[in-house]
Amino acid sequence: MANGLKTRWIIGGLLFLSLAANLFLGGWLFGSDAFRAPHAGERGAFFEAFNDKAAALPEPERAVVKEVLARHQPGLKKQMKRIMKSRDAIDRMYKRKNYSRGEAEERFNQLQEQSITMQQMAQAMMLDLADMLPPSKRAAFMERPKDMRGRGEEFRAKPKPKAKAPTPSVTETPPADQTGSPSDPAR
């Protein structure tokens, strides 16, 4: 009888641990990127911001913006995939036992070149958009989205605060009384 009761407790404990592990793994999986909706769908946040702004434009400008975006989007996406692939390769390289600083420098140089190319491609698109839009629409359209404003602010030079008037030090001598002699502490 005691042996059967002990077995039941062990099986019950194992079932409880299994349930706890399944709940943990389920929560981890549902909280992961696999089940999280992407920020901006397939287009990515960069293109999502431009598409949202284009939707607010009148038809002639909207068509121009969509044409420019459609022309630049495939190349930018392809370049972003190259960058992500390079970042993944760097991550894998650090995990290998035969890590080499020379290889790391080479991979970082490659990533830097890819990032510069991406930036040049994005700038070309921005310039094409600026060239195509009338001045009355250009400034508002090219303004960065609110969620992207302030990115990197911690790296910008901050204006130096204006100099404040010096505050009197505690070690300064007290002012003289009416007679010109130092204040009497006994008063």
3-class SS of residue 176: strand
Instruction: Provide mean pLDDT across the span 3-10.
Output: 79
Contact 45, 54 (CB under 8 A): no
Nearest partner of 118 among 77, 79, 72, 78, judged by Cα: 79
This prediction has a pTM of 0.54
What pLDDT is attached to residue 46? 67
**Mean pLDDT of all residues belonging to the chain:** 75
Of 1.10.8, 1.10.10, 1.10.3470, 1.20.120, which CATH number belongs to 42-146?
A: 1.20.120
- The burial class, CB within 10 Å (0-12 / 13-18 / 19+), for 117 is middle
Alpha-carbon torsion angle 46, 57, 64, 68, nearest 10: 0
Task: Give the torsion sign (CA, 7, 9, 10, 16).
Answer: positive
Which structure tokens are listed for 151?
Answer: 């990115």
What pLDDT is attached to residue 34? 43
Say which residue, 56 or 102, is predicted with more confidence. Answer: 102
Contact 82, 114 (CB under 8 A): yes
The full set of domain ranges for the chain reads: 42-146
List all residues 6 or more positions away from 45 whose beta carbon is below 8 Å from its beta carbon: 39
Give the Cα separation of 112 and 67 in Å (integer): 29
Neighbours of 65 (CB within 10 A): 21
Instruction: Provide mean pLDDT across the span 15-41.
Output: 59
Alpha-carbon torsion angle 23, 25, 27, 33, nearest 10: -170
What pLDDT is attached to residue 62? 84
Give the pLDDT confidence of 108-141 residue by residue, as tens digits: 999 999 999 988 998 898 889 888 888 888 887 7
Half-sphere exposure of 129 (CA within 13 A, CB side): 28
Say which residue, 41 or 160, is predicted with more confidence. Answer: 160
Residue 182 β-bridge partners? 176
What are the backbone angles phi and psi of residue 186, rounded to the nearest 5°?
-80, -20
